[in-house]
């Protein structure tokens, strides 16, 4: 969610929330980006807007989990993968060893089946010779 608010209202809200460090940042038009489910999404969108609309759109700072952060930290958080991407990577990492184990076991079963087949062929040949 993104909202444009008056700097006076933003100052009052920051003071009441105990974020006095933000008061100095509020001068002129203020845009506030709010993230709910995915904490990194607001930073990603802010960073995309900064790149697309620079120099008109420049984030001055923000609040993440109750801590005031700088422009550089906004860029750093914006570069992080989203929660969904991280979960997908985790699933792949967990799946990889299991897949390798399954492939190895299949190979051993194929090798064992090949040995049994060769043994059967040799016995059939021995039976024909007798």
**Are residues 87 and 68 both part of a single domain?**
no
Q: How far is CA 97 from CA 88, 108, 111, in A?
A: 15, 17, 21
Q: Which two tokens stand for residue 83?
A: 């929660």
- pLDDT of the residue at 111: 93
Cis bond before residue 55 (omega within 30° of 0): yes
* Residues 104 and 74 reside in one and the same domain: no
Residue with structure tokens 């489910």?
37
Q: CA quadruple 120, 121, 124, 129: dihedral positive or negative?
A: negative
CATH number at residue 44: 3.30.70.1730
Could you report the per-residue pLDDT of 47-80, keeping only the tens digit for each? 888 888 878 777 878 888 878 888 888 888 888 8
pLDDT for the residue numbered 108 = 92
**What's the domain range around 93?**
83-130
74 and 22 assigned to the same domain: yes
Low-confidence ranges of the chain (pLDDT < 70): none
| Percent of the chain clearing pLDDT 70 (strictly above) | 100
In the chain, the N- to C-terminal Cα span, in Å, equals 86
């Amino acid at each position: 969610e993104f909202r444009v608010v008056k700097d006076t209202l933003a100052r009052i809200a920051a003071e009441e929330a105990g974020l006095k460090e933000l008061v100095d940042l509020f001068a002129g038009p203020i845009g506030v980006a709010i993230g709910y489910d995915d904490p990194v999404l607001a930073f990603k969108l802010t960073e995309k807007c900064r790149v697309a609309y620079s120099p008109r759109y420049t984030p001055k700072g923000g609040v993440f989990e109750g801590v005031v952060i700088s422009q550089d930290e906004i860029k750093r958080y914006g570069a992080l993968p989203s929660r969904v991407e991280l979960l997908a990577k985790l699933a792949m990492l967990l799946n990889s060893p299991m897949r390798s184990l399954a492939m190895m076991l299949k190979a051993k079963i194929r090798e064992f089946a090949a040995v049994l087949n060769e043994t059967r062929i040799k016995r059939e040949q021995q039976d024909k010779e007798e």
